[in-house]
Amino acid sequence: MFKFLVTIALLIGILESRGQTCVVKSFRWEDPRDVKDIPMPMVDLSGKNCAVIKVETRQKGLEFDFGAMGNAIAAVEKEGEIWLWAPVGAQNVTIKNKQTGFSCNYPFSTKLLNQSVYIMVLDLDTVKSQSEAQIETELINIFSLDSDAKIFIDDYPAGNTTYYGSLTRGTHIIRIEKGDQKSEKTVEIKEGGQITIGMSFIPNISTNINDEFPPLLNFEDNPEFPGGYESMIKFFKDNIHYPLLAQQSGIEGTVFVELLVSETGRVKFIKLLRKLGYGCDEEALRVIKMMPDWIPAHFNKKPCSRIFQIPVRFQLPKKK
């Protein structure tokens, strides 16, 4: 049903309710190709741009308001979960329960993307909080050499590696587990843009927070497009369509795109680093989303995820 998306995220928001609080334990991106149980809403979604949010909760009577973007386009409630078709571009949601009176504005730290799937986990907590509390978050990427290692943030499950999302500012304990292996670290999330957190079961490997990605670990090789660099150049030449508006305006230049090549070779978490405008940014993203699976990077002879940057050049034909 959906072809692509970019992990958002882990945030912690507090919803107060008559002496008992309900906490947003996690909000993360999920690859739609791995989500098999998306129900069909009663509303016709033809021609509508929307993101899908699966809310895992035991709570009843919840309402979700996406602010200026409006309410959910459609919703399906099942035992233990609520599926929402949310407006694209929404950056926060207000969660309310009329029965108990709690309310919380929960920021995503990014815009919801079209045809993307997100998982929000709500749970009860006994810790009281201010109903007017301000929640501030930062984008994070939790990276591990071991594919499908389970991630826990402050002892709450947060999916499997690799994880791309958000986390509230402050101190958090991040742990990964796989079989009988465990690795844990305490991190301090501060204001200052996207943060990379490296996790490893291998001792004495520097995976400090805020390291730039290439120096994090000594990779044996980089991710590679099938057939190598020349094949990638041919792929772009065969598929890029120079936007008419850019041609008419005489626009040339380079769009810089960042992506993550997972340990399976899938291209994920695509985002623009430098824009050009005039339709070139959208065209660069469109073609990159068409890419086949890559050959992943390797560390210790094992495939692993790695962030990669691609410059997409738009150049008009030279006039004779």
Residue 162 belongs to domain spanning: 13-215
The answer to the question of residue 142 being in a domain is yes
How many Å separate Cα 151 from the centre of its chain? 15
Residue type, 185: K
Composition of the chain by helix, strand, coil, percent to 5: 10, 45, 45
Task: Give residue 135's pLDDT.
Answer: 67
The answer to the question of residue 224 being in a domain is no
CA distance 74 to 70: 12
- Domain count for the chain: 2
Is there a single domain that holds both residue 30 and residue 172?
A: yes
| 141 backbone dihedrals φ, ψ, rounded to 5° | -130, 115
Task: Give residue 4's pLDDT.
Answer: 34
Is residue 9 within 8 A of residue 139, CB to CB? The reply is yes
Is there a single domain that holds both residue 241 and residue 159?
A: no
Span 131-159, pLDDT tens digits: 444 567 777 778 776 667 889 988 888 88
CA distance 26 to 59: 15
| Model confidence pTM above 0.85 | no
Task: Please list the pLDDT of the chain residue by residue as tens digits (320 residues).
Answer: 433 333 333 333 434 444 455 677 778 888 777 787 889 887 778 778 889 999 988 888 889 999 888 889 999 999 999 999 999 989 889 888 877 777 788 888 778 888 888 888 887 654 444 444 456 777 777 877 666 788 998 888 888 877 777 777 888 899 999 888 899 989 888 887 667 787 877 654 444 433 333 333 445 577 899 998 889 999 999 999 999 999 999 999 989 888 888 888 989 878 888 889 999 999 999 999 999 999 988 877 778 778 788 889 898 887 76
Structural element, H or E, at residue 119: strand 117-125
User: How do 137-144 and 195-199 pair as beta strands?
Assistant: parallel
Is residue 15 within 8 A of residue 22, CB to CB? The reply is yes
Nearest to residue 84, comparing CAs of 103, 109, 101, 66?
66
The answer to the question of residue 144 being in a domain is yes
Is there a single domain that holds both residue 209 and residue 280?
A: no
Is there a single domain that holds both residue 83 and residue 133?
A: yes
